[in-house]
Amino acid sequence: MATGNGSPVQSKDDLGYGDARQAILEATGREIATKGPRGVVLSEICQRLELSPALVNYHFGGRDGLLAEAVLFEHRRLVQAMNDLTLSITTSGEDQFRERFKYRFDWTRANPGFDSMLNHTHLIDPSGDVMNTRLQTEIGAVTTLDMQGITTSIAGMYHGTVLNELITDSHPLWHPEFADITAFVGLAAIGAATFVTGNHPGSTPLAMQFPAILASLQESFVDRLVDSIRCQFDRIT
């Protein structure tokens, strides 16, 4: 609701400032996950939460700001989950790597709306105004954490050990070649996850008609990626 001067106030459920903001953010995220940005109807979300639509402008500056922050919030949760999983595996660096990408494929399959927005920034920021603010920096920071998680498993594969902490270029087991390998892996995996899970226009019919083929492609992709990484290790001096 709003006061007579137009200032937003708490809902009748007495949600606090941060609680109302978080409730809108998470509810929007649930809609984006399966429906994509076009399926998000803010009036319906606010009605379900019994919150004034004015709170969207108050907390996020409008629809575009809310959608962008919802994607950032979910991206951060995804990367944190993948990093936690990576560090929880103690068998080998390769096992860390494989389980990380299995998680990414499963997440992409379950969250097609978020996947499309992460891969196409014009869907996050159609006006071109949002990404030039602090969100650009925050998305970059989350992406850096993602790359550190990948590098950690790659370093374990290279050294034949298991690392239980994210590594950076100051870590004693770091090698400069890891940066290029990680970038290659990150780019390849994003595209493959989108295609193999049927979130790409060209692969959607395949996912519907031949799900077993795409499932085998997922396993084949990771196998080939591991082989490629090990070939690149041979060039490290």
Q: Buried b / exposed e across 115-144, counting CB within 10 Å, b at 16+? A: bbbbbebebbbeeeebbeeebeebbeebee
Assess whether pLDDT exceeds 90 at residue 125: no
Give the mean model confidence (pLDDT) for residues 131-142.
78
Question: Above 60 in pLDDT, residue 5?
Answer: no
Of the candidates 62, 56, 190, 42, the residue with the CA atom closest to the CA atom of residue 114: 190
- Go through 57-96 and write b for each residue having 16 or more CB atoms within 10 A of its CB, e for each that does not: ebbbeebbbbbbbbbbbbbbebbeebbebbbebeeebbbb
**Residue 230 pLDDT greater than 50, yes or no:** yes
For the record, the structure tokens of 105 come out as 């494929």
Per-residue pLDDT, averaged over 211-236, amounts to 88
Percent of the chain with pLDDT over 70: 83
pLDDT digits (tens, 9 = 90+) for 22-43: 999 999 999 988 888 888 899 9
Give pLDDT, residue 189: 81
Under a CB-based contact definition with an 8 Å cutoff, are residues 46 and 96 in contact? no
Using alpha carbons only, how large is the chain's radius of gyration in Å? Answer: 20
Which carries the bigger pLDDT value, residue 188 or residue 115?
188
pTM of this structure:
0.82
Pair 168, 148: CB distance under 8 Å: yes
State mean pLDDT over 138-159.
Answer: 94
Query: What average pLDDT does range 60-80 have in this prediction?
Result: 90
- Rounded average pLDDT over 216-231: 91
CA dihedral 5, 45, 68, 21 (to 10 degrees): 50
